[in-house]
Chain A
Amino acid sequence: MADTHDTNPEGAELRRNGTVMAQSDVNDWFVREVLPLETMLMQFLRRGWRNSADLKDLCQDVYVRVYEAAQKEMPVPAKAFVFATARNLLIDRVRKEKLVPIEAMADLDALGIALDEPGPDRSVIARQELRRLQTALDQLPPRQREAVLMRKIEGLSRPEIAARMGIAEPTVSVHLAAGMATLADFFHSEKIETGGKP
């Protein structure tokens, strides 16, 4: 986490509606409060939207709306705001695409239940997190996984990984970047949640 400010445009401030919100505060809030909801959010979107190919884009749209709102004022509680945003987005889409939203409407009503559930406490989250990471890692394609393991567990440099895997450095970079992207998806995917519970 130490390099947070290294890669964030530090000090960038957004002035909207007279309030000033440091971008790094919004970013921290987003990582802390919104990203952990992704598994549930994707479940919600999946029930509300027929075409699974659109889900990632819908999720991105929800995130952008939430992020833009937070730049003006951080919504509290985050969870209720995220799901209300998702609901509104689905309704917008349904209208725009003139679809008959049978599933969308039925399941949107079930939303209230999910919002009332208390989240797991921090120690449970920490245990789950390690398990999620492991499971996510296990699901990576073999070459990506190799590169990620060497980088993250053995702490090898790119030239070292290249030599070990017998591939060129640009290829190592490609594997690592792909590994980073897929790891993020698997980390948030539902399969881990349902399959990994004791």
Chain B
Amino acid sequence: MTNAPRANNPVKPASIVQAEAANWLERTERADWDAVAKADLDVWLAQSPAHMIAFLRVRDVWQRAERLHALAPSAPEKVTTHGLRAKPMLLALAAGIGALAVLGVVGARYVAAPQVRTYSTDVGGRELVAFDDGTQIELNTNTVLRTRMTTQSRTVWLDKGEVYFRVHHDPAHPFTVITDGHRITDVGTKFVVRRDPGRLEVALLEGRVRFGTADAKSNAGSDLLTAGDQAIATANSVSVQKIPLTALKNELSWRRDMLVFDHTTLAEAAREINRYNRRKLVIADPTVGRLTIGGTFAKNDIGALTSAAREMFDLRVKEHGDEIVISR
């Protein structure tokens, strides 16, 4: 029952293979699916058994989901579009940003007339915006950003919150993020930008970006960040360090609606989960705040984090209105 030694070809992380498999499967259902595309799929499938397996697995469940059709009579009423639409800035501002969920998207083709669009998420929200050029941006909780796509350039202003960017590189149309006095210019990449009061963080998963001040006329004085770099800017300093890819991925677990803690202090964990919830976790005692925990939690499940902390450290938990107070 032993396995034969096998070729030591490194396989991509399962989550990436799975996402690729799902993208392929999705393409097979599109109206423009043709023999050329199928040939491309066959090439991808032949590259690794992991590809074939992931494709079979995703397709298996997707096909099983045909059975849900049996539930059709009761189901359509569940189908409600509760998201707001993207709208020109003034309207969006008038509507306020507190409203439920977020804005859908109008495919912002950058040949269209330059128009500033605002996208936002409420506390606990998360929304994906895909553009026709292949660029995708994903807004985390409590985030506001504006976009302006013209024939010359693509610009995003991050007013607050956190955004994951997957930019389709196009030298003819540079992609720039402007936030908190800084300018991030994409050189073809995946990166995340988080703006908290007094602190700006840029971390790179892939590719390269230039990171400098917003008013600079040239790249002089800007930092070139590469994969694994994390830049943190405060009012009077900028630091750049390499962080492990796993740590970066943990930071991005919000994209799966999860929070991953690894030797994280309770104070920090509380700060993180509070970003996603109206009810807030309050650590009443600094010595409690320094205890460390690990684990994966649903971002909206304050209760799970609270009870994990309580059980591990034998703490007391009291609720006062919208506050959950943890103490010895």
Does residue B235 face the partner (Cβ distance < 8 Å to A)?
no
Number of chain A residues close to chain B: CB under 8 A: 70
Does residue B67 face the partner (Cβ distance < 8 Å to A)?
yes
Report whether B296 and A153 are in contact in the complex, using a CB–CB cutoff of 8 Å: no
Does residue B3 face the partner (Cβ distance < 8 Å to A)?
yes
Report whether A148 and B65 are in contact in the complex, using a CB–CB cutoff of 8 Å: yes
Task: Determine which residue in A173, A174, A180 has the highest number of CB atoms from chain B within 10 A of its CB, and name it.
Answer: A180
Chain A 173-186, CB-CB to B under 8 Å as 1, else 0, gives 11111101101110
Report whether A9 and B42 are in contact in the complex, using a CB–CB cutoff of 8 Å: yes
Give the chain A neighbours of B128 by CB distance below 8 A: 143, 171, 174-175, 178
Report whether B26 and A81 are in contact in the complex, using a CB–CB cutoff of 8 Å: no
Which of B79-87, B155-163, B185-193, B310-318 forms part of the interface with chain A?
A: B79-87
Does residue B113 face the partner (Cβ distance < 8 Å to A)?
no
**For the complex, what is the distance from the CA of A174 to the CA of B128, rounded to whole Å?**
8
Q: Is the interface of B mostly helix, strand, loop or mixed?
A: helix
* Closest A residue, CB atoms, query B43: A9
A residues 61-94 in Cβ contact with B at 8 Å: 61, 63-65, 67-69, 80-81, 84-85, 88
**For the complex, what is the distance from the CA of A96 to the CA of B3, rounded to whole Å?**
16
Which size class do B's interface residues fall under? 35 or more
Nearest CB in chain B: distance from A30 CB, A? 6
Report whether A142 and B65 are in contact in the complex, using a CB–CB cutoff of 8 Å: no
Nearest CB in chain A: distance from B235 CB, A? 34
Report whether B63 and A1 are in contact in the complex, using a CB–CB cutoff of 8 Å: yes
**For the complex, what is the distance from the CA of A164 to the CA of B82, rounded to whole Å?**
11
Give the chain A neighbours of B14 by CB distance below 8 A: 56-57, 59-60
Nearest CB in chain B: distance from A37 CB, A? 12
* Closest A residue, CB atoms, query B134: A170
Residues of chain B touching chain A, judged by Cβ–Cβ distance below 8 Å, are 1-4, 6, 11, 13-15, 17-19, 21-23, 25-31, 38, 41-42, 45-46, 48-50, 52-72, 75-76, 78-83, 85, 101, 104-107, 126-132, 134, 136, 246, 249-250, 257, 260, 296
Task: Show 27 residue pairs from A and B whose CB-CB distance is below 8 angstroms, ordered by the A residue.
Answer: A31-B57, A35-B56, A56-B14, A56-B15, A57-B14, A64-B50, A67-B53, A69-B4, A84-B1, A133-B61, A134-B71, A136-B61, A143-B127, A152-B68, A153-B71, A153-B72, A154-B79, A158-B31, A166-B81, A171-B105, A171-B107, A171-B130, A173-B26, A174-B130, A177-B25, A180-B61, A183-B65
